[in-house]
Amino acid sequence: MPKMKTHSGAKKRFKLSKNGKVIRAHANKSHILTKKNTKRKRNLRKTSVADVTNVKAVKRLIPYK
């Protein structure tokens, strides 16, 4: 059986932690920055853990990461 192909969009957007959790970036951080306060923009820079409902689908898209 051939190897699975990694989804090229998903490999740019998601990483796996050492414990196997899916790490993602926050959205809405690149435009209309004047009305967002500094604390909000700073917190949007950080990564977060993907929701449990999406983990199975994302791990299928990045099988070798």
| Domains of the chain with CATH codes | 8-61 (4.10.410.60)
What percentage of the chain reaches a pLDDT higher than 90?
88
In which order are the strands placed within the sheet that holds 47-49?
Answer: 15-16, 22-25, 47-49
State the first-to-last Cα distance of the chain, in angstroms, to the nearest integer. Answer: 19
Q: What is the structure's pLDDT at 10?
A: 97
pTM: 0.82
Render pLDDT for 14-41 as a digit per residue (tens, 0 to 9): 999 999 999 999 998 888 999 999 999 9
